[in-house]
Structure 1
Amino acid sequence: MKISPRSAKIFVTIIITIALDQVSKVLVRSCVETGSSSPIIGSYFQLMNVENEGAFLGMGSELNDTLRIILLLVLPVVVLGLVLRYILKDKKLDKWSLFAFSIIIGGGIANVFDRIAFGSVTDFLYIKLTDLLRTGIFNIADLAVTTGMIILIIGSFRKKKTYP
């Protein structure tokens, strides 16, 4: 089976995203005590080690096991599979959209892998500029998904829409 250069770029981007996320999580799990916090740039940027059993900001962690499996494992795998199929088939997507979808898929796969392998997702980055300007605790996969979404949103404003 021959893989096109376009498909190869998609898969390489997905694999690099997964690898960056998983390597960072291995380092955090081995070097940062669970529940601890280490300042990187004062109190503005901190390294932590938190196990998140839910989704974004822990949402869904209180769900029963069956619902958690459906909403945090089965549904994401189905959606990621459909998005991958879409970007492989739609040859009209521009390079930025392909990159954005690829890092979203890579980030999604990385977090699903954590849920399957560890029962939770390791989050470790925290930014607090002020009491109002701060993030939740996140990881590289979350950063990839967010960055991909921002690229897609910006790209949607840049495309000229033609109406009949």
Structure 2
Amino acid sequence: MMIKNRGSLNFFFLLVIVALNLGCDQVSKIIVRKNLVPYEQITVIKDHFILTKVENTGAFLSAGSNLPNFIRTLTLTILPVLVLGYGFWFIYSHRNLPRLMQVGICFLIGGGIGNIYDRIVHGSVTDFMHMDFILFRTGIFNLADVSIMTGIGLLLVNNLMASKARREMEEEEEEELATDQREH
């Protein structure tokens, strides 16, 4: 009984991570929608970090914005809703996943929900941040995109750590095998 309760508490905290990602994204977009006019530019860090409000009907960097409405709705709303639903099911049903993987998936889900919510409620996604550090320049993005990229980064780190651990374990097994062969 105690293990089940601990798992539920764990899932509760994972839902909090999703909610925090979604909440930060939506609050920032509400502020931008109320206080910026489209394409207005506010420099935050001299020519390097700029706020500008853009309504994006496509996906990342407006990809798919010229697709027919039915196909755009299918690929940018319906399929992502199904993928996010699968993500919830996955973290709920696989409670023994590494923590970093669980948190990464929650960041992906929170960011994904934020952008899908915009698409459904507003017909477009509000993007408003742009960075230009000469060698590193972004398109215009939002906090949901930051959550998604953070989630991807956490999953990559998790995979690198797991790969390193596997290699170390394989090396130890090879050393043990070599030691056993020398002893015989």
Structure-2-length-normalised TM-score: 0.84
CA distance in 2, matches of 1:4, 1:88: 9
Give the C-alpha shift of residue 104 in structure 1: 0.6
1:25-58 Cα offsets, whole Å, 9 max, x none, are 0000111111111100010000110000000000
CA distance in 1, matches of 2:129, 2:9: 34
CA distance in 1, matches of 2:31, 2:95: 38
Give the C-alpha shift of residue 10 in structure 1: 1.2
Give the C-alpha shift of residue 92 in structure 1: 1.9
Of the three residues 97, 101, 105, the one matched with 1:101 is 105
Which structure would you say has the larger Rg?
2
1:103-133 Cα offsets, whole Å, 9 max, x none, are 1101000100000000000000100001x42
> Partner of 1:137 in structure 2?
140
Of the three residues 129, 151, 164, the one matched with 2:154 is 151
Structure-1-length-normalised TM-score: 0.94
1:8-34 Cα offsets, whole Å, 9 max, x none, are 011111111111000000000111111
- Identical columns (%): 36
Moved over 4 A (4+): none
Alignment of 1:1-164 (within 5 A): 4-130=8-134, 132-159=135-162, 160-161=165-166
Amino acid at match of 1:142: D
Unaligned runs of 5+ in 1: none
Unaligned runs of 5+ in 2: 174-184
Give the C-alpha shift of residue 73 in structure 1: 0.4
Higher helix share: 2
**What is the RMSD of the two structures over their aligned residues, measured on CA atoms?**
1.5
